[in-house]
Structure 1
Amino acid sequence: MAFERDVVVIGASAGGVEALCQTVRSLSDEFPAAVLVVMHLSPGATTALPQILTRAGPLRAVQATHAAPLTRGVIHVAPPDHHLLIDGGALMLSHGPTENGHRPAINATFRSAAVAAGPRAIGVILSGALHDGAAGLGAVVERGGLAMVQDPADALYPGMPESALACVSTEHVYPADVLGKVLDHVVRTAASTRPVEPPSPALLLEDRIARDGVRVSPAATSAPTGNARPPPKRCAGSCCPSPPRPRHTRERRRRPTAGTAVPARVAVGVPEHTEDRHRAGREHDRAHDIAPAASARAAGRCLHRRRDFPGPGVQPVLDRGRGRPGRARAARPIPPRVRRVACGA
């Protein structure tokens, strides 16, 4: 069974920008495979890696977007704080758990390519520290894919290449400038292999965890497409803002008609109608045995001015200039000739 390797996934970390530029510089402008690049980035950072790779080589590099088609001859760069995965023939951005302390993680992308592309995938490990990408490269090889590693002696940080070589055995170990030429030759050569077993349950479980429940539209194709422009789609991931929350409106009570029961008040606050305020004032008068002439101010019936009214005999003073309550003072007696006007009437 002959086939073409048309999905290339490249992982890099510290010292990887220079290695990436040397690798893509050796690719031809008619590169017949889709390229996915994952580099460790801080969650809140902005990256200029697509512009750097576009200037470095003949291929166009873009920042990957959710549900965009997997396009041959284009370099898809993982955005910060999102795993770059493959769902059929489309890209998928996920906000799944971090791996090795990183999101995007190289292992997540390599495992996704192993599940989606199988023997059509090529995994490439470039300069970086620690061991992210080694387990993912092993999944690519397990599914019949090809592994390529930058020579640790050529890498600025040999940790990731050495960890990858300790996990998988491959004969494709080259410096970064040679690795691009070999990669361009490999994707143009038809490969033959024996039938590959389905993905293991452990591999499927790890891939499902990285997806974090995100799905791509069923219209996604099952293989990398040509240089077609992706249709605009709304992102289904966590990068889209959530819909606005409805405002909490206060339902106004209507005055009951004759013969209907008056519903009990549940909310504690300012009475909404004048009649309710009068009733509250009269109840307060009876409870504290306050003369009706002094109840308008001293008994606490100006509830619309301040909810925490101090009580009888004390009146709050508002500082009109600064807009904040001042010190409380004793209430002045109301002259008997002043006509009493209910608050809010």
Structure 2
Amino acid sequence: MTDFPLVVIGASAGGVSALMKLCAQLPSSFPAAVLVVQHVSPAHPSMLPRILSAAGTLHAIHPRDGQTLHPGMIYVAPPDHHLLVDGETVLLSRGPRENRSRPAIDVLFRSAAVEAGSRVIGVVLTGNLDDGTSGLHVIKQAGGLAVVQDPDDAEFASMPRSALNAVKVDHVAPLSELGALLASLVDDRARNHRPTPLASEDVRRLEVELGVAREEHALSKGVTRLGAPSPLTCPECHGTLIEIREGTLVRFRCHSGHAYTAGTLLTEVSESVESKAYQALRALGETVILLRQLSDQRQKQGDPAGAEAFLARAREVEASSEGIRALVRTTRALSVEKVERPDFDG
């Protein structure tokens, strides 16, 4: 456990610009370590530490695994790695993706809550879907503070709005006010550290989930005991999903370790409909090709009746594929916001 506060920040779509503006507001004497998860592509190097260092007075880095935390520094999760707090150091892992992301905001938030309790301030900024909501809930349970960018001020409001819907947030503020707010809150956290023990069932769940994030074997850690089996399957590995209840949230985790909120799972499943429909169209198209080839073969063998039978079946298969083509044309990926707000275009 650190003897100074931790500010953990999660951002996704629109996050680079928001993080630059926030870092520009933080004073050089900022008495907390800042840890950041920004959803980034795993396929390319990230320039975010250099960008954030240039934006303000605090120095930002991609930390090494096991690097010691210090106040007044910004630690940015590297691409394709979860960032966790581990005592007074950081831990980098390539554990299973959560909410389709690695790094995942929830992983960082949970680990900080377990390691630093009431010394943690969790911040959810702009982004789509709902990564960070579960982790912010844990920060609150552990006695930390929850801060959310005003959804009306965010470039993408889904992540802030999800946090506000599910978590008893302490502060909501526009980006322009977050720096001063965090400076004030960090000073209070440093002077008024009040340990808040987690409930035993939460401790057991977090031990399992953080173990999975650290690349420990999900089944051996007891992931199947986190909840009841659901009728749903993991979009990534197709394993059975365990349903996890956490406050008002419903989440899912498979025995390989992949994790989803209900909202992210809805998006993942609905996005798969189009690709599966095209797979069906491919199979039907190949069936038509083979039926026509067999029809030609029968014709050359002097069997016109057989040739016509294969040709007729080919026409039937072609006709049946029209319904699937219509499905492809009309199917759209869903999200919680798209269902609740049909005019939403984010």
TM bucket normalised to smaller: 0.5 to 0.7
State yes or no: 1:204 paired with 2:207.
Answer: yes
Paired position in structure 1 for 2:226 = none
Q: Match of 2:20, SS?
A: helix
Q: Residues 136-155 of structure 1: matches in 2 within 5 Å?
A: 136-155=135-154
Can you list the C-alpha shifts for 1:215-242, whole angstroms capped at 9, x where unaligned? xxxxxxxxxxxxxxxxxxxxxxxxxxxx
Contact between 2:32 and 2:186, CA under 8 Å: does it hold in 1? yes
Structure 2 residue 100 is matched with structure 1 residue 105: no
5+ residue gaps, structure 2, are 218-346
- Following superposition, the deviation at residue 192 of structure 1 comes to 5.0
Partner of 1:26: 25
Compared with structure 1, are the counterparts of its residues 40 and 119 closer, same or farther at alpha carbon in structure 2 (3 Å cutoff)? same
Cα distance in 2, alignment partners of residues 116 and 212 from structure 1: 18
Rate the CA distance shift 1:115–1:195 in 2: closer, same or farther, 3 A.
closer
Deviation for aligned residue 1:146: 0.5
> Does 2:131 correspond to 1:132?
yes
Q: Aligned residue for 2:82? A: 83
Counterpart of 1:193 in structure 2: which amino acid? Answer: R
- Normalising by structure 2, we get a TM-score of 0.59
- The alpha-carbon distance between structure 1 residues 133 and 62, as it changes in their structure 2 partners (threshold 3 A), is same
- What secondary structure does 2:106 align onto? helix
Partners of 2:108 and 2:183 in 1: CA distance: 21
Cα deviations across residues 85-138 of structure 1 (Å, max 9, x unaligned)? 011101110010000110000000001101111111110000000000000100
Give SS of 1:187's match.
Answer: helix
Give 1:119's aligned residue. Answer: 118
TM-score normalized by the length of structure 1: 0.59
* 8 A Cα contact 1:28 1:58, kept in partner: yes
In the TM superposition, structure 1's runs of 4+ consecutive aligned residues that sit over 6 Å from their partners are: none
Counterpart Cα distance in 2 of 1:13 and 1:175: 17
SS at match of 1:147: strand
1:191, CA displacement in angstroms? 2.3
Aligned-partner residue type, residue 145 of structure 1: G
TM-aligned CA deviation for residue 5 of structure 1: 5.8
Aligned to 2:176: 177
* Structure 1 residue 213: Cα displacement: 3.5
CA distance in 2 between counterparts of 1:33 and 1:40 reads 22
Structure 2 matches for 1:165-314, cutoff 5 A? 165-189=164-188, 190-191=191-192, 193=194, 195-197=196-198, 200-213=203-216
* Contact residue 118 and residue 195 of structure 2 kept, 8 A: no
Tell me the residue number matched to 1:36: 35
The one-letter code of the counterpart of 2:25 is S
Q: CA deviation at 1:195?
A: 4.0
Pairs within 5 Å for 1:159-170: 159-170=158-169
CA distance in 2 between partners of 1:194 and 1:83 (Å)? 26
Aligned to 2:314: none
Q: Deviations over 1:270-317 (max 9, x none)?
A: xxxxxxxxxxxxxxxxxxxxxxxxxxxxxxxxxxxxxxxxxxxxxxxx
Q: Which structure 1 segments of 5+ residues have no match?
A: 215-345
SS at structure 1 position matched to 2:129 = coil
SS at match of 1:11: strand
Count of paired positions: 212
Q: Structure 1 171/213 Cα, relative in aligned 2: closer, same or farther at 3 Å? A: closer
Alpha carbons of 1:195 and 1:79: their partners in 2 closer, same or farther (altered >3 Å)?
Answer: closer
Instruction: Indicate if the aligned counterparts of 2:142 and 2:196 stay in contact, CA closer than 8 A.
Output: no
CA distance in 2: counterparts of 1:4 and 1:185, whole angstroms: 17
Q: Distance in 2 between matches of 1:117 and 1:161?
A: 23
Preserved CA contact (<8 Å) 2:32 2:71: yes
CA contact (8 A) 2:15 2:125 kept: yes
Greater RCO (CA < 8 Å, at least 6 residues apart): 1
Q: Is the 8 A contact 2:118 2:193 kept in 1?
A: no
Structure with higher helix content: 2
